[in-house]
Amino acid sequence: MSTLLAGRRVVVSAGPTFEDIDPVRFIGNRSSGRMGFAVAAAAAAAGAEVVLVAGPVHLETPAGVERVDIRSAAQLRDAVLAALPADVYVGAAAVADWTPRDTAGHKLKKQPGVERMTLELVRTPDVLAAVAAHRLRPRLVVGFAAETEDLVANARAKLAAKRVDLVAANRVGVPGSGFEAETNALTVVGEGFERALGPAPKAALADTLIELIAERIAGRS
């Protein structure tokens, strides 16, 4: 336990979103929620009041954390914005970029002789960019970037496009890093700043990320 974030309110998003196609099918992704839950636990251990907006995952709520369960990207946006004002937002959720334009009210049946179907998708709200542009913008807005290549360049592009303060980039699609794994490696970028963390267990990386966040918050008070 520390007091690095005592008196601060931190909102964290974690896990996947599920975008429903019909009552039995959805578009999801491989996020387990581990990274975001670790960040929420580390923030609470540093003395912060923490709201964890969690997608559909099977993880226990970290001690001292208020949890709000959501399913879709639209619900995640509503829950995160409802949790403002806050000092810090950390977007560790793997938010779907696309959602079905229409969700069928009944199970979509196979039709004899029909070999193809087309699903029309529309963009989801960009929650991170919405938080960064909000009138109640937290002092520090931190995104994650899940990348398969050009980690730092892509993270810097997201930093600028979404107008956030830090982006923690991780490689996905390789063992021991990114989705599902117990461990990860992060490259944290900010304006004039770059720091490689790990490989290490997600809990240890979360502790270091929270230290970085606390330093930056203190510098802005």
- Residues 57, 32 contacting (CB under 8 angstroms): yes
Q: What torsion do the CA atoms of 61, 167, 47, 78 make, to the nearest 10 degrees?
A: -50
Q: Which amino acid is located at 89 in the chain?
A: Y
Q: For residues 102 and 180, which CB has a smaller minimum distance to ligand PMT in the complex?
A: 180
Q: Which of 9, 10, 32, 151 binds ligand PMT (CB under 6 A)?
A: 32
**Per CB under 6 A, which region of 32-40, 110-118, 191-199, 211-219 contacts ligand PMT?**
32-40
Residues 99-138 that bind ligand PMT (CB under 6 A): 124, 126-128
**Per CB under 6 A, which region of 1-9, 26-34, 39-47, 107-115 contacts ligand PMT?**
26-34
**In this structure, what are the phi and psi dihedrals at residue 136, rounded to the nearest 5 degrees?**
-100, 35
Q: Is 179 an interacting residue with respect to ligand PMT (CB under 6 A)?
A: yes
- Cβ at position 126, least distance to ligand PMT in Å: 4
**Distance, C-alpha 57 to centroid of its chain:** 13
Please tell me which residue in 29, 154, 170, 184 is annotated as part of the active site: 29
**Per CB under 6 A, which region of 87-95, 132-140, 203-211, 212-220 contacts ligand PMT?**
87-95
Quick note: the x/- pattern for ligand PMT over 137-176, rule CB under 6 A, is: ------xxxx-----------x-----------x-x----
Say which residue the tokens 């578009």 belong to.
27
- Cβ at position 71, least distance to ligand PMT in Å: 14
Q: Which pair of tokens denotes residue 116? A: 């193809």
Q: Which of 11, 26, 33, 54 binds ligand PMT (CB under 6 A)?
A: 33
- Cβ at position 78, least distance to ligand PMT in Å: 13
Q: For residues 5 and 169, which CB has a smaller minimum distance to ligand PMT in the complex?
A: 169
Distances (CA, A) of 75 to 9, 72, 163: 21, 5, 22
- Residues 9, 48 contacting (CB under 8 angstroms): yes
Q: Is 184 a catalytic residue?
A: no
Long-range contacts of 72-76 (CB under 8 A, 24+ apart): 72/17, 72/18, 72/19, 72/20, 72/96, 72/99, 72/124, 73/17, 73/19, 73/99, 73/124, 73/125, 73/127, 74/99, 74/124, 74/125, 75/17, 76/13, 76/17, 76/127
Residues classed as catalytic:
29
Contacts to ligand PMT by CB under 6 A: 15, 31-35, 73, 91-95, 97, 124, 126-128, 143-146, 158, 170, 172, 178-180
